[in-house]
Amino acid sequence: MNHSITVQAPAKLNLALSVGKRRADGMHPICSWMVTVDLCDELVLKRLENGRLSRYAILWHGEAKRRSEINWSITKDLAVRAHLELEKEVGRALPVQMKLEKRIPVGGGLGGGSSDAAAMLRGANELFELGLSMDELAEVGARLGSDVPFLVHGGSAIVEGVGGRVTRHPTLPVVHAVVAFPMAWCPTALVYGLFDELGEGGLRAGKVSALAKGGPVAADAPFNDLAEAAIRAAPRLGDDLRALSDLAERPAHVSGSGSSIFVICDDEIHAGGLAAAVEKQLGLPAVSVKAVG
């Protein structure tokens, strides 16, 4: 029996994001091509004896490029909430000691918190030998956030509705990119509110699916219906987006509702060199990433 486990929680990139008009329940349907990349938070879980109280620690990893204050309550952390939700699902306590070391910026549109939750579900399932399938874990994850079901599996998938419909791809696309982290704040609710004010919205599921089936991802192929709203929420984001595009000599894109931005690169060497140039010439924290399953 394992008494401890380390689980990687990868970030996601929205290579395509189409957003529909707000529904009567206040939610916006989406159709998005999501891919997990090798920028990861790290979750270490230790199984405690029955009857012990769980304890949790959240801190920044030494390699984190963009840090912010960890000022949310433990009970609101998505990894902790995932643990509590899993205990409800199985009807018993699952006492753990958790250490979460974050590399993924908070509020960066990269799904960091959701991936932490997914990692907790996978890790606790293995640690306590619960025997839940990945689909069952995804159902638990759907109660926590729209990105969690996809991130339970990871890899490449088309995600639709409010995150619950995930069509996984059998193969992983070859994606190399640079992700940069502007000093910009794009609250999701504000971005969606500005999206509504812009009067746009109309799902382009066909365009998303066509991009996902088109072989290698061209630098100008990604699109994001929330990009303009994110820039309105944080005008500096627009400046950084233009500066990154100019430096890379190819389009830069917004991931999710912002504020992280990315450029598709030719290969790993290209991505590594561009990331270094972004940090040196633009003063923006940046990392090179590749798609991972």
- In CATH terms, is domain 176-290 a member of 3.30.70.890? yes
Distance, CA of 63 to CA of 222 (rounded, Å): 28
**Amino acid 190: pLDDT:** 95
Q: Does the pLDDT of residue 2 top 70, yes or no?
A: no
- % of the chain residues with pLDDT over 70: 99
Whole-number pLDDT of residue 215: 76
Please, are residues 131 and 149 in contact by the beta-carbon 8 Å criterion? no
Exposed / middle / buried, residue 18 (Cβ in 10 Å: 0-12, 13-18, 19+) = buried
Amino acid 213: pLDDT: 85
- Please pick, among 41, 77, 116, 147, the residue that the annotation labels catalytic: 147
Q: Where are the domains of the chain?
A: 4-168, 176-290
CATH number attached to the domain at 4-168: 3.30.230.10
Radius of gyration for the alpha carbons in the chain, expressed in angstroms and rounded: 19
In the predicted structure, residue 67 carries a pLDDT above the cut 90: yes
Query: Catalytic site residue 12?
Result: yes
Q: What are phi and psi of 135, to 5 degrees?
A: -65, -40
In this predicted structure, the answer to whether residue 10 has a pLDDT above a threshold of 90 is yes
CB atoms inside a 10 Å sphere around CB 109? 27
Which value, to the nearest 10 degrees, does the dihedral of the CA atoms of residues 198, 181, 160, 115 take? -140
Which residue, 77, 90, 80, 73, is CA-closest to 125? 90
Quote the percentage of the chain above a pLDDT of 90: 87
The predicted pLDDT at position 30 comes to 93
pLDDT class of 71 with cuts at 50, 70, 90: confident
> CB count, 10 Å around CB of 228?
16
Mean pLDDT estimate for the chain: 95
pLDDT of 54 over the 60 cut: yes
Spatial distance between the Cα atoms of 208 and 185, rounded to a whole number of angstroms: 27
Looking up tokens 């918190």 gives 113
Q: For residue 1, name the pLDDT band (cuts at 50, 70, 90).
A: low
Each residue of 75-113: pLDDT tens digit? 899 999 999 999 999 999 999 999 999 999 998 999 999
Residue 150 confidence (pLDDT): 97
Q: Are 14 and 52 in contact (CB under 8 A)?
A: no
- Binned at pLDDT 50, 70 and 90, residue 72 comes out as confident
In angstroms, the CA 122 to CA 118 distance is 6
Please give the torsion angle defined by the CA atoms of residues 32, 37, 40 and 45, in that order, rounded to the nearest 10 degrees.
80
pLDDT of 198 higher than 60: yes
What are 142-182's pLDDT values in tens digits? 999 999 999 999 999 999 988 789 999 999 999 999 999 99
